[in-house]
Structure 1
Amino acid sequence: MNRRLFLVSGGLAGLSVVAGLGAFAATRRPAAALLPWEQAGLSRNDPRRYVVEHAILAPNPHNRQPWIVELIGEDRMRLFCDLDRRLPHTDPFDRQIVIGLGCFTELASLAASALGYRLDVVPFPEGEPQPRLDQRPVADFRMVREAGLRVDPLFAHVKARRSTKRPYDLDRAVPAAALAELARLSTGDVAVVGLGDAVQVERLRALTWEAWGIESATARTHKESVDLMRIGRSEIEANPDGISLGGLFLEGLALTGQLTRAQMIDPTSSAFRQGQDMYRAMLAATPAYLIVVANDGGRAGELAAGRAYLRANLAATGLGLSMQPVSQALQEFPEMAGAKAKVEEAVAIASPKRLHMLARLGYGPAVDETPRWAAATRIRQA
């Protein structure tokens, strides 16, 4: 669901032009854009807003945060896709966007359980839009008070969940017991499978790198990502969605003219090549993978896959594991078709089943939260 370029150059020396390096570093965290993580749960006396405050923390492609929630009556909500937040080049059929909305749906359900409510969900109540999403609702929610309902244990990991876009520790194998625990999240409609076989993992490392190369070499898909990059604290706080490139090092490069969108989009630039080198190293440092496979090839299967992925991400967090989607290989623009077929063959998934998620799995470093728009900006009254 987003991509961060890891850029390395001699530009760190250029930061000497910035007076008071320590003070500068302390101001680079986009605190305003991270407030929604702290504010989730403040509306405990308003159950629906409490639910939305948590649900907006869900993973989603390119961090587009494509959700709009309409409050209806006293106990209902209707989920829509903000059609301006889709990804027409890398996600031409809105499949990944629906998966992100599925993550939102599952997180909403978990938050409702924390207040003693069951969240009844009706997917696509006015029909499944094809080939792309339209103005019809993605889901109807109804909050039902249920005596004795237990808080879903995965809810405890909501604020610690991350999509960790860093190299993982290759000296620490993911235990078979952890893969088995993640597999227990499977349902009759969706399979969650952990992959730790060395030969299969090596094959997937090569294929995810091949897919990244295809996306970055295809002008329109690469530009789609670059256009959504937010460079430095000011840009991130002004638009806390898309691909945030923050922190002392990257902002320092931007301030010294060594990191610009023009450079990132130019495959001959040093910025592009350094990002390429770092992304290759990151993908290579992957000890295991996780896949999510739906039996239903339609929109309902996409939504269900998103719900399952969210649970897997939270369960992995509880196990001390890191995860990161590597969705390039599953994208449906024409140039990716060959790589997509190879990945499906590598994990032995064929029609009518549908491979919806492929994620890196391992032990990674601690990372910050991903910026978010405030919950209030995602809510409207019916």
Structure 2
Amino acid sequence: MTLSRRKTLALIGGGVIFAATASLGTVAARQPRTAALPWAFAGQGEEPRYRALSYALLAPNPHNRQPWLVDLRTPGEVTVYVDTAKLLPHTDPFSRQITIGLGCFLELMRMAASHDGQRVTITPFPEGFDDRALDARPVARAVFVADATVTPDPLFAHVLDRRSNKEPYDVSRTLPADTLAKLSVAQNGSFGGTVDAEEVAEWRAFTREALRIEIETPHTYKESVDLFRIGRAEVDASPDGIDFTGPLFEVLGATGLMTREGLLDTSSQAYKAGLDAVYANTDTAMGFVWLVTSGNSRPDQIATGADWLRVNLAATAAGVAFQPLSQALQEYPEMAALYRDLHARLAPDGGTVQMLGRIGFGPEVAQSPRWPLEAKIMNA
């Protein structure tokens, strides 16, 4: 579940006015110390693989799980594995979305390398794969070769500004008619979208219902809440998952007004008001985009990740806010009816709808926390 940070402040506080004590003032001023450092260190490293990977760390991925591990023991190569401790068995039971996130990582690594005079050849799943589950076999093997003729990818210029904007969008600002053309940069699957007001209204209702199902299904909701990181200390200690940082979250966490246990209590005011905060996102979408592939193999999902990253970067270049809203694509029984409906709408002749997201104009948002590169290197 993705909560609007701004609205969550009001709903959890329930109108409580905190005394302006010195102790609370100190708590409120706390900010994560280490979780944002990978953004500042991007591009640093002793050789091309390290420099490319320092950017790849910033790739979008489901629930910010950062499920990648890399083996660098073979000179000039990067072997990528999935960290099976970072899977999402309830909302992503076949790890399709996790695989897409790994595809985003690989594409960003390739992009970064192209700006460092390196051509990268990526072989997905060199030892085979299981379409039903990710396992200990490598996700990809990438070979780096110095090549002065390699063409740098222009979308790379927007990497440090890229965000998944989870705040409500400005409903007073319509998207320009050429927005979808600017975002049509997929190289593998089929890109589609709409900014038509009537169609957007229908998609708002559809994605709201998908969110409701995810939140009201206990095991999927709990999977998200278990990954909440509340306040600076939790985010620095575990810079993956869904972060809640900033002055009021520090106070709410320190005073016990925001806890995972409390948010799991569906009879609480925080839970009920939280639904409104979540729906503020779907209800303010000003356009929708999606990706469809003809197949649904693991390599198809890796290729989808490359496309999704490119679309996100193109949105950044166009000044358009962007957020995945793929709840209706989650493959658990409670979502089955919406999953079928979505495919009937977007892939009536067959294929798999891999990603769905909303676009619009949103406020500036902070960088997502990240683990440092050294935490992701195997056998270091």
**TM (normalized to structure 2)?**
0.95
Residue 351 of structure 1: how far off its partner (Å): 5.7
Indicate if the aligned counterparts of 1:14 and 1:252 stay in contact, CA closer than 8 A.
no
Find the aligned partners of 1:264 and 1:343 in 2 and give their Cα distance: 30
The alpha carbon displacement at 1:181 in A equals 1.8
Partner of 1:141: 142
Aligned to 2:19: 16
Moved more, 197-206 or 238-247: 197-206
Secondary structure in structure 1 of the residue aligned to 2:22:
coil
1:167-224 CA distances to partner (integer Å, 9 max, x unpaired)? 11112222221211212x133x311223112222111111111111111111111111
Q: Secondary structure at the match of 1:257?
A: coil
Residues of 1 paired with 2:354 and 2:373: CA distance? Answer: 27
Quote the residue 1:341 is aligned against: 340
Cα deviation per residue 1:107-158 (whole Å; 9 max; x = unaligned)?
0011101101111011111112231001111111011211232321111111
3-state SS of paired residue (1:225): helix
Give the corresponding residue for 2:202: 203
Asked whether 1:36 is paired with 2:43, we answer no
- CA 1:157–1:295 in structure 2 vs 1: closer, same or farther (change >3 Å)? same
Tell me which residue corresponds to 2:97: 96
Rate the CA distance shift 1:153–1:310 in 2: closer, same or farther, 3 A: same
Specify every segment of 5 or more residues in structure 2 that has no aligned partner in the other structure, as ranges: none
CA shift in 2, pair 1:299/1:350, >3 Å: farther
Q: Which residue of 1 aligns with 2:133?
A: 132
Question: Are residue 157 (structure 1) and residue 155 (structure 2) matched?
Answer: no
Q: How far, CA to CA, are the matches of 1:229 and 1:106 in structure 2?
A: 27
C-alpha deviation, 1:251, in angstroms: 2.4
Alignment of 1:140-289 (within 5 A): 140-183=141-184, 185-187=185-187, 189-289=188-288
Alignment partners' CA distance in 1, 2:378 and 2:256: 41
C-alpha distance in 2 between matches for 1:83 and 1:293: 26
SS in 1 for 2:19: helix
- Looking at structure 2, the residues matched to 115 and 329 of structure 1 have their Cα atoms a distance apart, in angstroms, of 39
How far did 1:271 drift? 1.1
Q: What residue is the counterpart of 1:58 in the other structure?
A: 59
CA contact (8 A) 1:12 1:252 kept: no
What is the identity, as a one-letter code, of the residue corresponding to 2:264?
A: I
Q: Are 2:354 and 1:356 aligned?
A: yes
> Identity rate of aligned residues, in percent?
44
The one-letter amino acid paired with 1:167 is P
Structure 1: how far apart are the matches of 2:363 and 2:51?
Answer: 30
The 2-side partners of 1:22 and 1:226 are apart by 27
Q: CA deviation at 1:256?
A: 2.7
1:365 is the counterpart of 2:366? no
Does residue 3 of the first structure (1) align with residue 2 of the second (2)? Answer: yes
Deviation of the 1:309 alpha carbon:
0.3
What secondary structure is seen at the aligned counterpart in 2 of 1:176? coil
Query: Which amino acid counterpart does residue 40 of structure 2 have in structure 1?
Result: E
Task: Look up the SS of the partner of 1:33 in the other structure.
Answer: coil
Deviation at 1:377, TM superposition (A): 0.7
**Matched letter for residue 200 of structure 1:** E
Find the residue that maps to 2:81 and give its secondary structure: strand
1:250, CA displacement in angstroms?
Answer: 2.2
Alignment match, 1:290: 289
Q: Give the aligned length.
A: 376
Q: How does 1:315-330 map to 2 (within 5 A)?
A: 315-330=314-329
Distance (whole Å) between structure 1 residues aligned to residue 203 and residue 360 of structure 2? 14
> In the aligned structure 1, how far is the partner of 2:23 from the partner of 2:152?
48
Contact 2:61–2:101, Cα closer than 8 Å, also in 1: yes
The TM-score, its normalising length taken from structure 1, stands at 0.94
- SS of residue matched to 2:72: strand
What is the CA–CA distance in structure 2 between the aligned matches of 1:83 and 1:352, rounded to whole Å?
Answer: 30
- Check conservation: 1:232, 1:254, Cα contact below 8 A: yes
Contact conserved, 2:70 with 2:81, CA < 8 A, in 1?
Answer: yes
In the alignment, what sits opposite 2:378? 380
2 CA distance for matches of 1:271 and 1:99?
Answer: 32
The answer to which of 5-14 and 69-78 deviates more is: 5-14
The superposition leaves residues 281-337 of structure 1 with CA deviations (integer Å, 9 ceiling, x where unpaired) of 221001001101112221111111111000111111011111010121110000001
Matches of 1:25 and 1:97 in 2, distance apart?
34
Flag the 1:63–1:351 CA change in 2: closer, same or farther, 3 A: farther
Q: Is the 8 A contact 1:164 1:322 kept in 2?
A: yes
* 1:18–1:220 Cα change, 3 Å: farther
3-state SS in 2 of match to 1:342: helix
Distance across 1 between alignment mates of 2:370 and 2:2: 15
8 Å Cα contact 2:131/2:297 also seen in 1: no
Q: Tell me, what secondary structure is at the counterpart of 2:355? A: strand
Compute the RMSD of aligned alpha carbons: 1.7
